[in-house]
């Protein structure tokens, strides 16, 4: 279809009626499912009993472990195998490069279970670019200012590894090496360095994890005037939204994306996350995959990415809890919108008032390959407790201890890291799982 064609289709879908949008979704779903059945051994087998006349709810859901176990047979291109991907991704310089000149490779965080490996084909990349081009900005006036100020974009993210944000931005930089309008600032660099880079660059758009931006906002040395702040990766709370808006004097917004589904929902000026229904089907479901009514909180969601044909994600289970709204939004968009119960990890405060954002520690620990799942609890202003699940706990613990100690030292802290025998667990009262939180021991 090509980028221009995809752009046109994406723009066009914004002004069609709900009925037409439903028909478009059905058409794209059928095309994807039929392609998957014909070209993927995994789906050919899994969808055998489906017949030709099926509804979305007839299609059996898929889980991450299921897809990763059968990785090679899920793919619709038999030239690509996990073995070749392992070889390719062993070279960190390959981030942002395509395997066989055809597919980008991403890995999801390994901290909530085994990491997933996700391939993007050209069509999926074009769709993500089109959504970014038309739906990133909630307000037209911010977009206009951003264009007037030279589209300068700074992202404070983890700028290493095969993760979506990093890999996609490296890919775009490689494609347009002369464009100097985009920088990525390493989220775990010392604050003074981050602030210097941002002050010198003067971004028109600032993006990053909410908790990290909230901490940066405390530094009066940070002197930038972006036209918009766009957060991602964790829940943007009302408090942080207000704080960032006060500091930077601009509109603060968020979006909802995941590696498997791509850009799932974009925020409008009413602060509603509108599902990109032309390219993603999102179903709120309960524990047993039964549909959850509009307006009710789901236990999880099923995502169908309608634009990725190399590694189809069809009714793929994600553990996010959401409320989907079908009432029309005042902004005029034709799509349904959602509220999401996001990660709500704590900002930790150590000796001498040094504050550390949960996302920074999260990024350190997700890099430790041997860890499958973790939980870090602050027990005192100079002590943390680490709980891990790993196939090789000894190796995982020593690597995690080493990397955490390095990170704390870079912040001028000497924090004792205590390895716990307990496993990561949800809060007994709320049932919510936090990766990183504060719970001072009463001793």
Question: How far is it, in rounded angstroms, from Cα 101 to Cα 109?
Answer: 25
Considering Cα of 425, then 429, then 432, then 434, what sign does the dihedral take?
negative
86 or 270: whose CB is closer to Zn ion? 270
Residue 419 burial class via C-beta count within 10 angstroms: exposed 0-12, middle 13-18, buried 19 and up: middle
User: Under the criterion CB under 5 A, does residue 235 sit at the interface with Zn ion?
Assistant: no
Q: Indicate left, alpha or beta for 275 from its phi (over 0: left) and psi (-120 to 50: alpha).
A: beta
Question: How far is it, in rounded angstroms, from Cα 70 to Cα 45?
Answer: 12
Nearest approach, Cβ of 393 to Zn ion (angstroms)?
A: 47
Nearest approach, Cβ of 270 to Zn ion (angstroms)?
A: 4
64 or 135: whose CB is closer to Zn ion? 135
Compute how many residues bind Zn ion; rule: CB under 5 A. 6
- 212 three-class SS: helix
Nearest approach, Cβ of 130 to Zn ion (angstroms)?
A: 19
- Beta carbons within 10 angstroms of residue 425's beta carbon: 10
Nearest approach, Cβ of 252 to Zn ion (angstroms)?
A: 16
Q: Are 390 and 370 in contact (CB under 8 A)?
A: yes
Nearest approach, Cβ of 274 to Zn ion (angstroms)?
A: 6
Nearest approach, Cβ of 10 to Zn ion (angstroms)?
A: 17
**Among 115, 120, 107, 119, CA closest to 65:** 115
Residues ≥6 apart with Cβ < 8 Å to 327:
294
270 or 439: whose CB is closer to Zn ion? 270
332 or 412: whose CB is closer to Zn ion? 332
253 or 390: whose CB is closer to Zn ion? 253
Q: Are 236 and 254 in contact (CB under 8 A)?
A: yes
152 or 272: whose CB is closer to Zn ion? 272
274 or 343: whose CB is closer to Zn ion? 274
21 or 331: whose CB is closer to Zn ion? 331
Strand order in the sheet with 205-208: 182-186, 153-157, 205-208, 228-231, 251-258, 262-267, 273-275, 337-341, 321-325
x/- letters, 264..303, toward Zn ion (CB under 5 A):
----x-x-x-------------------------------
**Alpha helices, DSSP H only, in 310-414?**
358-366, 393-410
x/- letters, 311..350, toward Zn ion (CB under 5 A):
------------------x-x-x-----------------
263 or 366: whose CB is closer to Zn ion? 263
Nearest approach, Cβ of 253 to Zn ion (angstroms)?
A: 12
- 392 three-class SS: coil
Give the range of 130-138, 225-233, 260-268, 288-296 binding Zn ion by CB under 5 A. 260-268
Quickly tell me which residue has 């000026």 as its tokens: 269
Q: Are 402 and 409 in contact (CB under 8 A)?
A: no
Nearest approach, Cβ of 195 to Zn ion (angstroms)?
A: 34
329 or 370: whose CB is closer to Zn ion? 329
User: ∠ at Cα 432 (429, 433), nearest 5°?
Assistant: 125
DSSP 50: G
Nearest approach, Cβ of 266 to Zn ion (angstroms)?
A: 10
Question: How far is it, in rounded angstroms, from Cα 65 to Cα 52?
Answer: 27
Question: How far is it, in rounded angstroms, from Cα 355 to Cα 215?
Answer: 7
Nearest approach, Cβ of 273 to Zn ion (angstroms)?
A: 9
What's the maximum distance between 2 C-alpha atoms anywhere in the chain? 66
The residue ranges that bind Zn ion (CB under 5 A) are: 268, 270, 272, 329, 331, 333
């Amino acid at each position: 279809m090509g980028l221009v064609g995809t752009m046109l289709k994406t723009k066009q879908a914004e002004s069609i009626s709900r009925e037409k949008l439903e028909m478009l979704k059905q058409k794209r779903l059928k095309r994807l499912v039929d392609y998957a059945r014909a070209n993927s051994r995994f789906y050919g087998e899994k969808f055998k009993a489906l017949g030709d006349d099926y509804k979305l709810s007839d299609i059996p859901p898929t889980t991450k472990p299921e897809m990763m176990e059968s990785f090679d047979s899920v793919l619709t291109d038999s030239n690509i195998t996990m073995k070749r991907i392992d070889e390719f991704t062993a070279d960190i310089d390959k981030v942002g490069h395509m395997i066989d000149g055809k597919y980008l490779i991403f890995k999801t965080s390994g901290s909530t279970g085994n990491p997933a490996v996700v391939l993007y084909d050209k069509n999926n990349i074009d769709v993500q670019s089109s959504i970014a081009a038309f739906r990133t900005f909630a307000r037209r006036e911010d977009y206009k200012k951003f264009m007037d100020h030279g589209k300068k974009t700074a992202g404070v993210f983890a700028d290493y590894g095969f993760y979506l944000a990093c890999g996609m931005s490296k890919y775009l930089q490689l494609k347009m090496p002369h464009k100097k309008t985009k920088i990525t600032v390493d989220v775990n660099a010392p604050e003074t360095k981050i602030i210097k880079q941002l002050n010198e660059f003067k971004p028109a758009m600032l993006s990053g994890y909410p908790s990290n931006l909230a901490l940066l906002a405390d530094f009066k040395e940070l002197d930038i005037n972006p036209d918009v702040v766009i957060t991602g990766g964790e829940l943007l709370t009302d408090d942080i939204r207000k704080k960032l808006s006060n500091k930077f004097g601009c509109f603060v917004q968020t979006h909802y994306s995941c590696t498997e589904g791509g850009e799932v929902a974009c925020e409008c000026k009413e602060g509603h996350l509108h599902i990109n229904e032309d390219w993603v089907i999102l179903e709120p479901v309960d524990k047993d995959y039964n549909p959850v009514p509009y307006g009710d909180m789901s236990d999880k969601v099923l995502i169908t990415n309608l634009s990725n044909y190399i590694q189809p994600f069809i009714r793929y289970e994600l553990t996010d809890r959401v409320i989907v709204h079908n009432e029309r939004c005042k902004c005029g968009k034709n799509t349904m919108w959602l509220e999401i119960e996001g990660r709500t990890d704590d900002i930790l405060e150590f000796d001498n008032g040094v504050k550390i954002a949960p996302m920074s520690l999260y990024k350190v620990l997700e890099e430790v390959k041997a860890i499958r799942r973790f939980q870090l609890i602050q027990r005192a202003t100079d002590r943390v407790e680490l709980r891990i699940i790993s196939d090789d706990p000894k190796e995982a613990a020593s690597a995690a201890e080493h990397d955490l100690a390095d990170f704390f030292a870079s912040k001028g802290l000497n924090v004792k890291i205590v390895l716990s025998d307990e496993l990561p667990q949800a809060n007994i009262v709320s049932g919510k799982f936090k990766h990183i939180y504060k719970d001072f021991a009463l001793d």
